[in-house]
């Protein structure tokens, strides 16, 4: 698959990039994408939720009434779960939601997500560029010229990505900038348009074609 290379003014250059079909041209595996996204979101969960059981609730341990002879059900202390203010039964406890996923599955998921974007023509390759000073206005102007205004976009830069590009985009809720080494399935799926810097193509292919 070949894609035209654009400059940051939104104009098509004379250059083209040939994408590796092993990375950008496979049949997308939706189940692998699902598993990888599920793991990424699970790892982001804090898991600090906590409620008190009957052994942790403050209250008297006195038996409320005698065991027999009252005609009512037997009860223990006021901390019993059946009373208001009592302990919670089977409530949430702090836990780790993360789970293991094989590296091959994660790699397949990233390749599937990239192929999905390439096949649906939601991927643009741009020349490497830099911003002299961190200015959000300048980055917004670049998005406008690339016809990405109002769209959820993901910008993938090479290893030596310009720091000012990250700083210029961090205030924009619908724009995310990452380096090729940090590329993940969730960011790819969560974006409408993927913009890849020319230098990032080789880095992505080197990692995912091994």
Give the percent of the chain with pLDDT over 70.
Answer: 100
Verify that 13 and 27 share a domain, yes or no: yes
pLDDT (tens digit per residue) in 9-47: 989 888 899 999 999 999 999 999 999 999 999 999 999
Asked if 152 and 204 sit in the same domain, the reply is: yes
44-94 pLDDT, tens digit per residue, is: 999 999 999 999 999 999 999 999 999 999 999 999 999 999 999 999 999
Tell me if residue 8 falls in helix, strand or coil: coil
Domain containing 152 equals 2-46+98-208
Residues contacting 58, CB < 8 A, separation 6+: none
Q: What integer pLDDT is reported at residue 79 of this predicted model? A: 96
Domain count, the chain: 2
Among 65, 91, 117, identify where a domain stops.
Answer: 91
- The whole-number pLDDT of residue 160 equals 72
pTM value? 0.84
Do residues 26 and 128 both lie within one domain? yes
Same domain, yes or no, for 192 and 119?
yes
HEC-encoded secondary structure of 99-115: CCCCHHHHHHHHHHHHH
Are 78 and 115 within one domain?
no
Containing 143, the helix (H) or strand (E) segment is: helix 136-145
Could you read off the pLDDT of 130-184 as tens digits, one per residue?
999 999 999 999 999 999 988 999 999 988 768 999 999 999 999 999 999 999 9
Residues 6+ apart with CB under 8 A from 182: none
At residue 103 the predicted structure's pLDDT band, cuts being 50, 70 and 90, is very high
């Amino acid at each position: 698959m070949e894609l035209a290379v654009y400059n940051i003014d939104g104009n098509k250059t004379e250059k083209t990039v040939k994408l590796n079909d092993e990375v950008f041209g496979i049949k997308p595996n939706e189940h692998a994408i699902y598993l990888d996204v599920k793991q990424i979101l699970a790892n982001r969960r804090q898991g600090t939720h906590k409620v008190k059981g009957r052994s942790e609730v403050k209250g008297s341990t006195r038996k409320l009434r005698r065991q027999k002879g009252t005609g009512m059900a037997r009860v223990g202390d006021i901390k019993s779960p059946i009373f208001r203010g009592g302990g919670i039964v089977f409530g949430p406890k702090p836990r780790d939601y993360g789970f293991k996923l094989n590296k091959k599955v994660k790699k397949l998921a990233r390749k599937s997500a990239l192929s999905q974007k390439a096949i649906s023509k939601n991927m643009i390759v741009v020349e490497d560029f830099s911003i002299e000073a961190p200015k959000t206005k300048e980055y917004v102007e670049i998005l406008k010229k690339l016809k990405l205004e109002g769209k959820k976009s993901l910008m993938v830069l090479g290893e030596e990505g310009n720091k000012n590009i990250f700083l210029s985009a961090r205030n924009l809720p619908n724009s995310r900038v990452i380096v090729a080494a940090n590329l993940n399935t969730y960011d790819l799926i969560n974006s409408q348009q993927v913009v890849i810097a020319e230098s990032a193509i080789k880095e992505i292919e080197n990692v995912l074609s091994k």
